[in-house]
Amino acid sequence: MPDPTDEEILAALRSAPADAVERLRHAVGAYRSATAPLVEWRGGRDPAGTAAADSAYPVYDDRVWELLGALQAVGAFVVFDWMHWKRAAVVRDVRLAVSAPVADLARLVTVLLRGERFGDGVIAGAVDAGVLPVLGERVLAFLDDRAPTPS
């Protein structure tokens, strides 16, 4: 199966139902209004060095998961060869996220979710860099600017 084209990705986004767009709007607002840390690292060696070493792992605030779920609900999750995608550096660089094409933002959601499955902290990198809310805001802006769909 070939990777989807940018236009196919944008067409999928354009077909997002209104309730999914509102879910994304709410999720972006809730994420931006968070005052507590959105990622907490647990595990790892205890500071005194008296316990066996553990792998540290991130625990994400519900607002992180809700924003990612809302992005998926509007179609910003793409089945493609994400492991070989050359633009995955966007995950940790908010400047790239601000200027990336919208289709690449949808691909980035896939990179975040799939990457986290194989390595703890991929999403944490996007949270720490400020990339995650930019994804939500830019996809939302694209959806708000789309032409109305006929009823």
In sequence order, what are the beta bridge partners of 41? Answer: 58
Q: Is 124 left (phi over 0), alpha (psi -120 to 50) or beta?
A: alpha
Q: 3-state secondary structure string, 43-91?
A: CCCCCCCCCCCCCCEEEECHHHHHHHHHHHHCCCCCCCCHHHCCCHHHH
Report the distance separating Cα 55 and Cα 78, nearest Å: 30
pTM, 2 dp: 0.88
Query: pLDDT at position 32, please?
Result: 97
With H, G, I as helix, E, B as strand and everything else as coil, classify residue 40. strand
Query: pLDDT at position 150, please?
Result: 46
Residue-level pLDDT, tens digit, the chain, 151 residues: 789 999 999 999 999 999 999 999 999 999 999 999 999 998 876 666 666 656 889 999 999 999 999 999 999 999 999 988 888 777 788 998 999 999 999 999 999 999 999 989 999 999 999 999 999 999 999 999 975 544 4
